[in-house]
């Protein structure tokens, strides 16, 4: 899946927020990332999905500090992050993995683990607030 297709899906979702539920596959999980994921949750998955409701949720919250293209990093972060943890709290009865990576400040993706259907669903994201520098700061 290319970032262009994901960007089109994000744009379409944000234009028509009342559209019926829809999801797309946005990437494949590499072998190394599959091993890191399996170490955390004892489950193996190979695909990455996102749905329109998750995009709206993440982008609508000002406290998430997301720029329009931040969601485009999801596949890269999932495949390359060394900072992965298993949440103690499930989301809609699914295990939740937390992926963190520094991309112009720490970005965090929460994913539901769908073992039966072999995918992670990106359901939330946020960017840590960057420290502000004032022009006269020393």
Whole-angstrom distance, CA of residue 55 vs CA of residue 11:
10
Confidence class of residue 4 from pLDDT cuts 50, 70 and 90? confident
Phi, psi of 82 (to 5 degrees): -95, -10
CA gap 113, 96 in Å, rounded? 6
The DSSP-derived string for 44-77 is ---EEEEEHHHHHHHHH-GGG---TTGGGGHHHH
For the segment 73-107, what is each residue's pLDDT rounded down to a tens digit? 999 999 999 999 999 999 999 999 999 999 989 99
What pTM did the predictor assign? 0.90
């Amino acid at each position: 899946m290319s970032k262009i297709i994901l960007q089109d899906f994000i744009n379409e979702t944000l234009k028509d927020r009342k559209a019926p539920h829809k999801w797309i596959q946005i990437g494949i999980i590499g072998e190394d990332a599959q091993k890191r994921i399996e170490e955390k949750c004892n489950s193996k998955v190979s695909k990455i999905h996102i749905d329109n409701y998750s995009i709206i949720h993440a982008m609508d919250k000002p406290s998430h500090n997301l720029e329009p293209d931040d969601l485009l990093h999801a596949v890269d972060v999932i495949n390359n992050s060394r900072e992965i943890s298993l949440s103690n709290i499930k989301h809609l009865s699914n295990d939740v993995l937390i992926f963190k990576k520094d991309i112009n400040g720490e970005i965090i993706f929460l994913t539901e683990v769908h073992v039966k259907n072999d995918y992670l669903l990106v359901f939330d994201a946020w960017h840590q607030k960057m420290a502000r520098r004032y022009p006269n700061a020393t």
